[in-house]
Amino acid sequence: MKRQKGEQNKLLTGGDSLMAYETEDQETQYCFPDINSSCVKGKRFRHGYITYLFVSLLSAWTVFLNLLVIISIFYFKKLHTPTNMIILSLSVNDLFIGLIMPLEAIRLTETCCLYLRIFYVVHQQVKVINSLMKGGKCVMKSSMKRKSESKAALTLGIIEETHSWPMRQRIMETQFCFPDNNSSCVKGKRSSHGYIIIYVFVSLLSAWTVFLNLLVIISISHFKKLHTPTNMIILSLAVNDLFIGLVMPVEAIRLIETCWYFGDTFCAIHVLFVSFLVSASLSNLVLIAVDRYVAVCHPLQYPQKITISKTLMSICLSWVCLSAYITAFVIYNGYFDFSHRTDVCYGQCSVMMSLSWTVTDLFMSFIFPCLMIITLYLRIFYVVHQQVKVINSLMKGGKCVTEGLVKRKSESKAALTLGIIVTVYMFCYIPYYLYVLTVISSTTINVLLLLLYANSGLNPLVYALFYPWFKRTAKLILTLKIFQSASSLINILTQH
């Protein structure tokens, strides 16, 4: 009897210690909750999104100002001095620091690496046994305690398997974005290989998009012969695609992890910025279509109607109008009023809008611009077809082809090239906008969004295939020959 009471007292004492351990364990939050050997997550103050907002503004400020310094020293020949070359090197270094600030902020603020996550393998059954002991479901004898930990874990794991495997399986399979908040969103499940492949693909796509569009921007900015109205619109499109390449990593985290770790304010800013960039791409294509229509269908009026100053004003006006529209769209749908939002779970950043706004946005942001582009290009291709017939008939008759006809043929070729850009855009964007009208799986949505972002990396490829000047400027930039005196005055359009 005394022996039994002694064992009961030991069990009670052990139970108290387990309860104390459980309370302490609940207060401690790990980066990966089901691995107690992972790092302990730091406790942030309640309004942690302020940190992210500050770092985002600091990053944008750093990138913008250093980009101004880089372009200034690149472009103005009087600044091509040894001292300024060192300043240029420092600015490039500071630019890259600004680009990695958001990722570094995640690491420092969260004290956990929440991106580029690779699935881990649970290598000990001991963790399962400890959870069973805390729940009081299994009691081990003192003799079993003296055995090796791995053997005890295996034995009790088999016992638990027969009793509560279904319930434990559901608990293990369900992972929340924020484990200490059961009202948060459920984290998506993917294989470790799937995580690695998708993250590597998005990283390469982002680097590819930024690099090629930066080549386009430097080419058109540096070489004076490329300062034409059409190229100003291409420059605007390249700047837009460059920003899409920069936001790809953040967007990839949202799509792959299915969780948003950066707070509500940054979510609203992210939705605002991405929506603006997507709409601005189509706006630039509308301007390209108008430019080519006037150049091909009204060639005599083109120099008077389409000038560089008018083109730049049109680009700025379109960006301002888009900013006003997207801001109204985001505010009207409640993206800055987080206290009254019930349409999303905690840890989700997605676009949820009413039916009226869905129809309005679909018409204003896609259907109307696309109809305008298609109408203009149908007219362009009809006129091009007629001009080609005239040129071919003159050449067959042995008549001299005038300079005006040659110029029209060149304009027609440019229209065809930019028409290919529009076609690629339609191919990448139409599936996404069809999704707005239907309900499909999250996997399909992610694929369509990645296809949409991939369009920004395809446009420079079209320039490389159909614009000889882009190949020449890229070669001069990569070989650093643009630092030579008077390099901006090179006639890049006729150089062989």
Structure-model confidence comparison of residues 401 and 233, the more confident one:
233
Most confident stretch, 113-117, 121-125, 278-282: 278-282
Question: In the predicted model, is pLDDT for residue 156 greater than 70?
Answer: no
| Superfamily (CATH H level) for 192-489 | Rhodopsin 7-helix transmembrane proteins (1.20.1070.10)
pLDDT the model gives residue 317: 94
Q: How many angstroms separate the CA atoms of 57 and 4, rounded?
A: 67
Least confident of 151-155, 222-226, 271-275, 455-459: 151-155
Q: What is the pLDDT of residue 22?
A: 42
Instruction: Tell me what pLDDT residue 120 has.
Output: 36
Q: What is the pLDDT of residue 242?
A: 94
Check residue 36 and give its pLDDT: 56
Distances in Å between the Cα of 374 and the Cα atoms of 20, 248, 366, 422, 430 are 70, 29, 12, 9, 14
What is the rounded distance in angstroms from the CA atom of residue 263 to the CA atom of residue 349? 9
pLDDT grade, residue 32 (50/70/90)? Answer: low
- Which three-class secondary structure state does DSSP give residue 329? helix
Rounded mean pLDDT, 16-23:
43
Confidence of residue 237 (pLDDT cuts 50, 70, 90): very high
Question: Who's near 209: CB < 8 A, 6+ residues apart?
Answer: 241, 242, 244, 245, 248, 453, 456, 457
Closest CA to 318 of 365, 251, 271, 360: 365
| All structural domains of the chain with their residue ranges | 125-189, 192-489
pLDDT tens for 291-324 read 988 988 888 888 899 999 999 999 999 999 988 8
Alpha helix locations (H) across 339-402? 355-362, 368-396
Q: What is the mean pLDDT of residues 336-362?
A: 66
Residue with more model confidence, 277 or 151: 277
| pLDDT band, residue 446 (cuts 50/70/90) | confident
* pLDDT-derived band at 402, boundaries 50, 70, 90: low
Q: Supply the pLDDT for residue 227.
A: 92
Q: What is the pLDDT of residue 2?
A: 46
Give the CA distances from residue 76 to residues 81, 187, 266, 374, 485, in Å, rounded to whole numbers and listed in that order. Answer: 11, 51, 37, 40, 10
Mean pLDDT, rounded, of the chain: 72
278 compared with 142, residue with greater pLDDT:
278
What is the reported pLDDT for 236? 94
pLDDT band with cut points at 50, 70 and 90 for residue 174:
low
- Find the range with the poorest average confidence among 161-170, 285-294, 441-450, 464-473: 161-170
pLDDT at 225 over 80: yes
Q: How far apart are CA 347 and CA 259, in angstroms?
A: 5
DSSP string, 385-416: HHHHHHHHHHHHTTPPPPHHHHHHHHHHHHHH
Position 111 scores a pLDDT of 62
Which whole number is the average pLDDT over 470-480? Answer: 88
